[in-house]
Amino acid sequence: MIDINTETDIERLRQVTQLLQNENDHLHRRLQALAAELSVAQGRDVDRLQLELQLIQEQLRQRNHDLFGASSEKRERPAADRREDTSPPKSSPQTGHGPHPQPSLPYVEQVHELDEPDRMCPRCGNALREMNGQFEESEEIDVVAREFRIVRHKRQKYRCSCGECVETALGPDKLIAGGRYSLSFGVEVAQSKYEDHQPLARQVKQMRRSGLEVTSQALWDQIHALAVHLRPSYGALRDAVLESSVIGMDETHWRLLEKGKTKQWWVWSLCSPQAVHHHIAASRGADEIAQLLGDYAGVVMCDGYAAYPSFARNRDGPGKLVLANCWSHARRAFVKAEPDYPKAGEVLSLIAELYAVEAECGDDLAARHALRQEKSKPLTRAIRDWLWAQRVLPESSLGKAIGYTNKLWTGLTRFLDDPRIPLDNNATERILRPIAVGRKNHYGSKSKRGTEVAALFYSLIESAKLAGVEPGAYLREAAKRAIAKPGTATLPHDLIES
């Protein structure tokens, strides 16, 4: 439970606003001084003064954006870049509350008949007769409330007439030996928390409305017991990811709410087209990368975080590790700079053409390599020429974007010679989105054991989605196999193959 002091939060917000306003005032004064200096400059580097003036204007705009702007990566394209569309106008997609197809819902037919007093003609008084097979039909979507029940299992006993043998029928698989809650119940709780992002306290209230009295601790006990059975499957997911020749890697922050203190931990994610493995740790250093990758020999797609090249340089492994970098991250830096430096739109247009080439590529690796050599390689040369031709201050947003791209140029262009490498790491970032939503809804974990359980369920649920398997069905089957034979690891693709 987090103790929120509204008055303290408002006071902190007021202090932050005042600090930002003071910084704004300082930037205004600096802007005026530079403008005056520029106006009287004679025989000095006027271009340098103009760059400094532009930097101050950029910082002022960014301060105002921090105070009052909305966060978005969307880019408003300049009017000159918008091509006139001469094609006939397309019909707008249906909006509003129109009916949507529901192929997975069962149909229940209900026939409505007139009451006896109403089966009489109001004009002549004769009895009305049914028109065989004639109905006015309509549909509505109804809801059947979730229902909890107590199932009493009666295990039949058997004996031999010799009096020496008594046998008892087997009962259902149990999460906890002698426990009161079923395997399906535990899966439901875990899925609600880690797929639907519902805190346990909220689930307790929902269950109470359906007639079940339960505590948050009891729900946690079921989740933890389920996680114990699924640990072999969680470990197998990491091995499955590392079997891919190209993987994505990224990290995001996580909260550990321990003994009234909030500590910042980190979620590390490994991603392949077939599986996902999350690991939550206290460190964001290269040692965590080493723990996750081990002796992996392949291509790791990542961003420009310094721990990745540090690990690659110091790694002593039997195979070669190659780092590829993400064009999406480079693009974001130029999108951020464009409001203050419109010429950044030129390089953004070139990057957009890179993505247009990728949209033409199919699954054939040889054809993709040929297309990249023919079209993408000249585009990367044009981007590099543009970067070298700019004259900006290194500390400006455009200078930082250019510096970031130049620094990672080797990793950014690896895709040209290796058709297996994607253009960006967006697939891994999409995998991290559920974690960001969960972090917002239930704040984080209350213990190290909680971080381990969270990493396990986020990994298994997202891997099931990648395989096209319903996560609840996968969790149930994997746990059932592990209960029957402890140590059994089940991957989502195992369910498809079986």
Q: Spell out the domain ranges in the chain.
A: 283-428
Percentage of the chain beyond pLDDT 90 is 57
More confident residue, 277 or 1: 277
Structure tokens given for 353: 């053409």
Query: How far is 427 from 249, CA to CA, in rounded Å?
Result: 10
Lowest mean pLDDT among 112-116, 403-407, 486-490: 112-116
Structure tokens given for 68: 């009052």
Instruction: Specify the pLDDT at position 73.
Output: 58
- 4 has pLDDT over 70: no
Which among 276, 271, 311, 318 is positioned nearest to 295, based on CA atoms?
A: 318
Structure tokens given for 67: 């105070």
Instruction: Specify the pLDDT at position 454.
Output: 96
Instruction: Specify the pLDDT at position 131.
Output: 87
The band of 303, judged by pLDDT with boundaries at 50, 70 and 90, is: very high
Query: How far is 478 from 492, CA to CA, in rounded Å?
Result: 9
DSSP-derived letter for residue 325 is E
Instruction: Specify the pLDDT at position 83.
Output: 44
Express the helix, strand and coil content of the chain in percent, nearest 5 each. Answer: 50, 10, 40
- 99 has pLDDT over 90: no
Phi-psi group of 376: left, alpha or beta (phi > 0 → left; psi -120 to 50 → alpha; rest → beta)? alpha
Structure tokens given for 94: 């249906």
Query: How far is 307 from 289, CA to CA, in rounded Å?
Result: 8
Instruction: Specify the pLDDT at position 146.
Output: 82
Instruction: Specify the pLDDT at position 164.
Output: 86
Lowest mean pLDDT among 43-57, 297-311, 422-436: 43-57
- 247 has pLDDT over 50: yes
The pLDDT tens digits for 432-479 are 999 999 999 988 899 999 999 999 999 999 999 999 999 999 999 999
Instruction: Specify the pLDDT at position 31.
Output: 67
Residue 157 phi, psi (nearest 5): -100, 150
Task: Evaluate if pTM is beyond 0.85.
Answer: no
Query: How far is 51 from 408, CA to CA, in rounded Å?
Result: 25
- 68 has pLDDT over 80: no
